[in-house]
Amino acid sequence: MKFSARTIATFLNGEIVGNPDVEVSDISKIEEGKPGTLTFLANPKYTKYIYETQASIVLVNKSFVPEKEVSATLIKVEDAYQALAMLLEMYQQAKPEKKGIENMSYISPKATIGENVYVGAFAYIADGAKIGNGVKIYPHVYVGDNVSIGDNTILYPGVKVYADCRIGKECVIHAGAVIGADGFGFAPSSENNYKKIPQVGIVILEDYVEIGANTCIDRATMGSTIVRKGVRLDNLIQIAHNVEVGENTVMAAQTGIAGSTKIGSNCMFGGQVGVAGHISVANGVKLGAQCGVNSSITQENATLIGSPAMDYKEFMKSFVLFRNFTKLHQQIGVMEKEIKELKEKIK
């Protein structure tokens, strides 16, 4: 399917600089642009590529002023990155939708299935499950007893949703994610081993949540582990029992949140962040990659880095000393030697 610059500009409410009739049928990165493709420039670090890209159309911010001639047709928009997201969403929606129940899938007669649902081969839907309208359940998905799944949610291949968990509407759960496995609850016994504590709670994912591949969200010991509306979790994340993640919080890969911790709304966590259990993190907090949080963060919109976590600005001041420790140690050694020699001369 081809789209002209004129059509794209009309959809995005953008301004055309160049040939309005040039057409594209694919998308490319600006540094790898090919004729017949559309690309975008949002990060100034990539500005040099706009003068050499072979892409036919480039989305740019309205503030962009070229320093020399650009061969591609430009479409100026308020936010090039957001505009690209809109185009990709339109492209995704243009693809044919999967519908119907494939052979070799199992749906319990006690389950409730909505309209326009897709269930792939080898998927299993257990007793009492409630599947909303427009839900897509890809092959090898397991939906346990009494699970509820809201309208237009997508479960990609290999997702496992344990019994009684609740998933809202318009959610996306990527391949291999496990929702509702037992929390890590064990009590030491007199026999010097560990006795398992039954995990009888559930997991609740509210609306518009996206869960990355192979991420695990454990069921609560009692009550609920809750992921609030609009949360985005990357691949390979661990959310432990009885955790609550606030609305619109985002976490990058390999983050781990220990049990019973409360994360505020609109937080941003970098990769490999670790948060201890039974603490709280205020709204809007930003944690740099590999940050280690072992106590509550009460200041909203704080930016922290390091392990243990500390204020970003204070960390950067301290880092000047960290990276010079070897040199400082050598200097101290020289000073100690000089002081010793001076003492001997005085004697």
CA dihedral over 49, 50, 52, 57, signed as positive or negative: positive
Average pLDDT over the chain, rounded to an integer: 95
- The count of other CB atoms within 10 Å of the CB of residue 193 is 8
pLDDT band for 41, please (50, 70, 90 cuts): very high
298-334 as b/e: b if 16+ CB within 10 A: eeeebebbbeebeebeebeeeeeeeeeeeeeeeeeee
Whole-structure pTM value: 0.85
Annotated catalytic residue, options 140, 241, 278, 329:
241
Tens of pLDDT along 76-98? 999 999 999 999 888 777 778 88
CA dihedral sign, ordered 279, 199, 223, 137: positive
Question: Which residue in the block uniquely carries the two structure tokens 């505020």?
Answer: 264
Residue 59 has pLDDT above 90, yes or no: yes
pLDDT-based confidence at residue 326 (cuts at 50, 70, 90): confident
pLDDT at 323: 81
Exposure of 70 in the CB half-sphere (CA atoms within 13 A): 26
Position 286 confidence tier, pLDDT thresholds 50, 70, 90:
very high
Position 219 pLDDT exceeds 80:
yes
**Catalytic: 174?**
no
State residue 13's pLDDT score: 95
Task: Give every CB contact of residue 33 below 8 A, 6+ residues apart in sequence.
Answer: 39, 49, 53, 54, 55, 58, 72
